Homo-oligomer: A and B are copies of this chain.
Amino acid sequence: MSAPLKLGIAGLGTVGAGVVALLRQNGDLLGARAGREIAIKAVSACDRNKDRGLDLDAFRWYEDPLALADDPEIDAVVELIGGSEGIALDLTRKALAAGKPVITANKALLAHHGAELAALAEANDATIGYEAAVAGGIPIVKALREGLAGNRIARVYGILNGTCNYILTTMRETGRGFEDVLAEAQELGYAEADPTFDIDGVDAAHKLTLLASLAFGCLPDFDAVHIEGIRHISALDIALASEMGYRIKLLGVARKTDYGLEQRVHPAMVRTGTPISQIEGVFNAVVADGDQVDTTLHSGRGAGAGPTASAVVADIADLARGAAPPVFTLPVERLTRIRPAHMGRHRGAYYIRLMVVDQPGVLADVSALMRDHNVSIEALIQKARNPGEAVPIVFTTHDTTEADMTDVLARIDRLDVVLEPPRMIRIEAL
């Protein structure tokens, strides 16, 4: 066996403590599989005296995480501080500049600075491992970079945020509303006190940026991602979706089209009975459509100490084996910059819900507007309840462009009989 791989770990929160615990528990096995002992040499975190249920005495302690990059005894730095800027960025830059590989769970960091950091890694003969940054314990970075290396990927998509999937699943199972279920998720620890990054789709967009780069060999381009969250999803829409044979999931989708690269995060209807529709609760899943392999699905837990640590140590094992693949599948100079597709050019089917006054002629007005804008109705649910009162009209469309759809909805919204802004949810063809 070769010399041990010596690690410095920065950040001892849930994931950092999980990595220390995993290496203590399964370190022998991991070392045997990697062909080399794996040893933590030093750690750094905010508070040395916090009780993490771990004995840290065997490790050198640094108050300043940046010192890990200077320690000549450390072969690689494990960055588990988080955040796209500040200390996580500084540490990653410094470690790479010193030729030390970095392993991280930090999706925000790489979504924003991936191109710069990949170039820095290459220039210093180092690598960045980020299996834990995308879909937690699911080994999807490895699958895209290595397992499906022979494929041209047409589309990669997935359920990338467990908090949102838990909320949407619970809403469907209980019929309860968004705010109510969010509050419960916060109590249970499935949602953060400030849940913005999760429920507004930003976290999923960070992950999608990395998936797109891996799948298409392009530079990560977070700013090009169209992002919608799940705040506006109502119990009514979820119930109506079920009735029409769909479930609502927050999807991240990256797709190559004739008009550029679509990168979008938004609630989407997926047909009930498809494998992805059955991914429930805090589970994540990623689907890759390759030209050779066709469709593959990879699912598992997207967060938590164990699953995330599992992904971190997979990268550590790769490092120990001497694997040093390019960060985004190709050398940085070969990564392309794919023109972002404008959402107006997106083509697909839609679910639309209107709240209208229950009176004769409403459906005729609405359907005339749709016909005049080339939007063709596929299915319709109209439930009369109280003449003169508000009732929902719900329909799904055949494929149409988002520009046409948006235009029609603006006109429908201006009809007097339409009482609320129309609700639109995209249907993802699987």
Contact between A34 and B292, CB atoms less than 8 A apart: no
* Contact A150:B313 (CB < 8 A) given known A278-B273, A330-B32: yes
**Hey, which chain B residues are within 8 Å of A318, CB to CB?**
146
Residues of B within 8 A of A131 (CB): 147
Q: Which residues of B contact A330 (CB under 8 A)?
A: 32-33
In the complex, besides A29-B217, A148-B314, A293-B307, 10 extra interface pairs with C-beta distance below 8 angstroms are A26-B151, A26-B291, A33-B326, A139-B143, A139-B148, A142-B143, A275-B275, A293-B311, A294-B307, A296-B299
Contact at B309–A150, with CB atoms within 8 Å?
Answer: yes
A275 touching B299 by the CB < 8 A rule?
Answer: yes
Q: Does A373 interact with chain B (Cβ within 8 Å)?
A: no
A368 nearest CB across to chain B (Å): 40
With both beta carbons as reference points, the residue of chain B lying nearest to A140 in the complex is identified as B147
* Residues from chain B with Cβ under 8 Å of A297 in the complex: 297-300
Q: A310 contacts B150, CB within 8 Å?
A: yes
Let me know if A301 is at the binding interface, CB within 8 A. Answer: yes
Does A306 lie at the interface of the complex (its beta carbon under 8 Å from any beta carbon of B)? yes
Among residues 133 to 152 in chain A, which have CB atoms less than 8 Å away from a CB atom of chain B? 137-139, 142-143, 145-152
Chain A residues close to B by CB (< 8 Å) = 22, 25-26, 29-30, 32-35, 131, 137-139, 142-143, 145-152, 217, 273-275, 277-279, 290-301, 306-307, 309-311, 313-314, 316-318, 321-323, 325-326, 329-331, 334
Contact indicator B323/A310 (Cβ below 8 Å) = no
Find out whether the CB atom of B137 lies under 8 angstroms from the CB atom of A146.
Answer: no
Most B Cβ at <10 Å: residue of A291, A296, A301, A307: A296
Nearest to A142 among chain B residues (CB) is B147
Which residue of chain B has its CB nearest to the CB of A304?
B294
A295 / chain B contacts, CB cutoff of 8 Å: 300-301
Per the bound structure, the CA–CA distance linking A334 and B32 in Å amounts to: 9
Cβ of B146 and Cβ of A143 under 8 Å apart?
Answer: no
26 pairs of residues in contact across A and B, judged by CB atoms under 8 Å: A25-B291, A26-B291, A30-B149, A32-B334, A33-B326, A33-B329, A131-B147, A137-B296, A139-B142, A139-B143, A142-B147, A150-B309, A150-B310, A150-B314, A273-B278, A290-B310, A291-B306, A292-B306, A293-B307, A293-B310, A294-B301, A295-B301, A296-B299, A296-B300, A297-B300, A323-B323
Cα distance, A30 to B148, chains bound together (Å): 10
Give Cα A313 to B334, complex, Å: 21
Query: Which chain B positions have C-beta within 8 A of A300?
Result: 293-297
How many Å lie between the Cα of A326 and that of B35 in the bound state? Answer: 9
| A293 cross-chain contacts in B, Cβ below 8 A | 137, 300-301, 306-307, 310-311
Q: Which residues of chain B are within 8 angstroms of A292 by Cβ–Cβ distance? A: 22, 26, 137, 306-307, 309-310
Measured in the bound complex, the distance between the Cα atoms of B34 and A139 in whole Å is: 19
A279 in contact with B275 (CB, 8 Å): yes
Are B296 and A138 in contact (CB-based, < 8 A)?
A: yes
